[in-house]
Structure 1
């Protein structure tokens, strides 16, 4: 099974295979979403730590290494790498969207200068790479990302990061609504559970993006 047949939802179960894609380097960028210190922090409570262990294994064993390889390949070929991170602009978080103020796990109070809000060292931006700071889920909402991409002539976005079913999905949907061609990399994303990850990929695939593996993308772009 390859990207043309994988991650099919009910809506596309019997649809014909999509055509091959062409991704010109000058019109393509890698967008890394929310791979920040808060997402990789270990829980103090033993039960929560055990509950999240599969997520951490996927991040350390698959997502981070493959996203790092992808960043390196894009940089080596002069293709833009863009970063998005979630953080509040005010220390008390009044500027956050409602989705980031809801009680419970999603109530993320991370001032932009805090350690928790920083991108992890393994995937940190280098030199003058663009970093978009967002106060909601989508990297397009309330930021200048659309204008920046238009100014750069970018029409194709390769997306990886966390969480698949939240900020990644919200960003992908926003990009699609703005008529960007979006590719989401299965092995460069993670959700709280593999079940949530797979379910969201099936939901967004073929409607808002094309889902594939990083090695398929590198081969398609001639970067392998």
Structure 2
């Protein structure tokens, strides 16, 4: 099943197949959202002293496995693909500018999972080394879910001449989805690379992809996107050409 018919919600079961994205490489950017040390580092299971802590550790293991085995390698491949073809790469990370987090948005002060205190210079707030920005790639820091709402990213994308934003990162059902909705409301064409994203569970990931697909974005795999990009580059070249292959 191709991206044109996959990840459909109830609203779009009978909708016609979407058109292929226009995808002008000169007006396209990859946006990698919130893949930071705080989300991928955890203590060894044997270091935990409570049964509740061990149960929580076990519950998060599928996410950590998905991140290490699939999502981070795929995002690294996406970054290599974009860089090889001289297409903009932009990064977003959650980080507050104060040590006590008083500048955080309300959503990051509420109790529970979203209660994040990530001062901008601390290790926990940094992008994971495998996906670190290169050269003068732009990074925005935010204390909001949406990378657009809490930063100057909209203006930056406008100044770069970007019309299509390809999104990757975590969490699919939180910061990724919030960013996608903001971008769509600003009339950017949005693509979400489904195998470059993750939520806390596979079920939440799949549910959110179905919710945002077709109305806010086109959801596809990295390989499907790379195929579209290769054909767009070939069509734009006066001599036969193709996108640099995925690593």
Which residues of 2 match residues 17-166 of structure 1 at below 5 A? 17-42=17-42, 44=48, 45-166=53-174
Partners of 1:59 and 1:208 lie apart in 2 by: 24
Greater mean alpha carbon deviation, residues 196-205 or residues 134-143: 134-143
Shift of 1:20: 1.9
What does residue 12 of structure 1 align with?
12
Q: Deviations over 1:29-57 (max 9, x none)?
A: 00000000001022553222111000011
SS in 2 for 1:52: helix
SS at match of 2:20: coil
Q: Which runs of 5+ in 2 are unaligned?
A: 231-242
TM-score, normalization: structure 2?
0.89
Distance 1:140 1:21 in 2: 21
SS in 2 for 1:221: helix
Given that residues 22 and 221 in structure 1 are in contact (C-alpha distance below 8 angstroms), is that contact kept between their aligned partners in structure 2?
no
Cα RMSD of the aligned pairs, angstroms, is: 0.8
Shift of 1:22: 2.1
Deviation at 1:142, TM superposition (A): 2.5
Distance 1:142 1:122 in 2: 25
Write out aligned runs for 1:191-202 (5 A).
191-202=199-210
TM-score, scaled relative to structure 1: 0.98
1:32–1:161 contact (8 Å) kept in structure 2: yes
- Structure 1 unaligned regions, length at least 5: none
Question: Which structure's CA Rg is the greater one?
Answer: 2
User: Aligned to 2:175, what secondary structure does the other structure show?
Assistant: helix
Farther off after superposition, 203-212 or 20-29: 20-29
- Inter-partner Cα distance in structure 2 for 1:155 and 1:168: 18
| Distance in structure 2 (CA, Å) of the matches to 1:84 and 1:2 | 29
Q: Distance in 1 between matches of 2:214 and 2:10?
A: 11
**How many positions carry a matched residue from both structures?**
224
Tell me which stretches of 4 or more aligned residues in structure 1 moved more than 4 Å: none
